[in-house]
Amino acid sequence: MAELTYRDAVARGIAQEMARDPDVIFFGEDVAKAGGVFKATVGLYEQFGPRRVRDTPISEQAILGAAMGAAMTGLKPIAEIMFSDFIAVCFDFIANEFPKSRYMSNGQTKCPLVVRTGNGAGSRFGAQHSQSVENWCMMIPGLKVVAPSTPLDVIGLLAAAVRDPDPVIFFEHKSLYAVKGEVPDGEILDTLGTAKIVRPGKDCTILALALMVPRALEAAQRLKAQHGVDCEVIDVRSLVPLDTQTILGSVARTHRVFTVEENPRLCGWGAEIASIIADEAFYDLDGPIVRITTPHIPLPAADILEDMVLPTVDRIAETVRRGLSA
């Protein structure tokens, strides 16, 4: 058992899969000798060499075009898009090319690739480098979408993504890179499409993703200590496939639901889950589903303003408290 940071877990996860399978390759902007702009790929170039770990030009379209070509010809590429905001630059590949290749070729062509990208706010990068864009990708048929919150989940879900026959968008939260967690020795493999109950409870269900998971856990602890409210916290982890069984099972036990979403409120992932709960578990609910989100605005770069718009522990705890007492 070792204690790793989230960023070190990224490197370990990639190294595990590259050591296991010689067809796995990795490339992106400054990911080789520099070890990545967030230092999440340190050591991979030295371990696997320039044929399998490569720097690319500053061209997101070129990166994903090369990844698709490599995947269609038998390799298993991991491609890095430095900031998730830049998915917009190469969205044609993500929306029109990767996810449709197997369908349009009647299974003759597969596209087994992983796009890793730094997602989310908290680092004062401003409106074009701080967005949470997982909802951009979850709407596209044929894509799988993952966002881990712990070092252990980074490794396990990354391994599952690399071994999956379909394209996977793998969101790493930039504000979690320094977070530490215990990781066992040996190979780690998780399962896509599975949520985790990270805190059992009986009074309500809180659904959270990535950076919002530790904030939801802290809010749940505060609610228990100060108000005796026992919250169940679920780390959604995988948006596509979505673990509706775990979510609906929790709703049946607690009868109240809150989502904690970093993405802007309009068309956020919590809206889709709320729709599923309303369709399939309406009579299990004792009150309305409440969404705790970032407002529908560009993210500010100023420290105090960025902190103000993101869901905080205080806002989560107070919203849950008021919602349950209404």
For the chain, the C-alpha Rg in angstroms (whole number) is 20
| Arithmetic mean of pLDDT, 192-212 | 98
Instruction: Decide: helix, strand or coil at residue 305.
Output: helix
pLDDT in tens, 76-90: 999 999 999 999 999
Q: Which of 40, 102, 111, 44 is nearest to 75 (CA)?
A: 111
Helix (H) or strand (E) holding 254: helix 244-254
- Bridge partners (DSSP) of residue 307 are none
- Closest of 178, 227, 220 to residue 201, by C-alpha: 220
Domain 2-183 has CATH 3.40.50.970: yes
* Residue 284 to residues 83, 180, 194, 231, 255, Cα–Cα distance (Å): 40, 37, 22, 16, 5
Instruction: Spot the catalytic one: 129, 173, 255, 296.
Output: 129
pLDDT digits (tens, 9 = 90+) for 89-109: 999 999 999 999 999 999 999
Share of the chain above pLDDT 70, in %: 100
Q: Do 196-325 and 2-183 have the same topology in CATH?
A: yes
129 is catalytic: yes
pLDDT at 7 exceeding the cut of 90 = yes
Cα separation of 16 and 13, whole Å? 5
Q: What is the mean pLDDT of residues 212-220?
A: 98
Whether a cis peptide bond, with omega within 30° of 0, leads into 241 is yes
- 196-325 topology per CATH: Rossmann fold (3.40.50)
User: Given pLDDT bands bounded at 50, 70 and 90, which one contains residue 149?
Assistant: very high
Q: Where are the domains of the chain?
A: 2-183, 196-325
Can you tell me which residue has the tokens 């100060």?
Answer: 226
pLDDT for position 298: 96
pLDDT above 90 for 1 = no
What is the arrangement of strands in the sheet containing 231-235, beginning at the earlier edge strand?
A: 196-199, 231-235, 204-208, 257-264, 290-294
**Assigned token pair, 216:** 């939801």
Are 231 and 320 a contacting pair, CB within 8 Å? yes
pLDDT of 121 reads 96
Average per-residue pLDDT for the chain: 97
Instruction: Summarize pLDDT for 258-290 with one digit per residue, the tens.
Output: 999 999 999 999 999 999 999 999 999 999 999
pLDDT value, residue 207? 98
Q: What are 224's two structure tokens?
A: 């228990």
Say whether pLDDT at 164 is over 90: yes
Question: Would you call 223 helix, strand, or coil by DSSP?
Answer: helix
Task: Work out the burial of residue 312: count CB atoms within 10 Å of its CB; fewer than 13 is exposed, 13-18 middle, 19 or more buried.
Answer: middle
Residue 326 reports pLDDT greater than 80: no
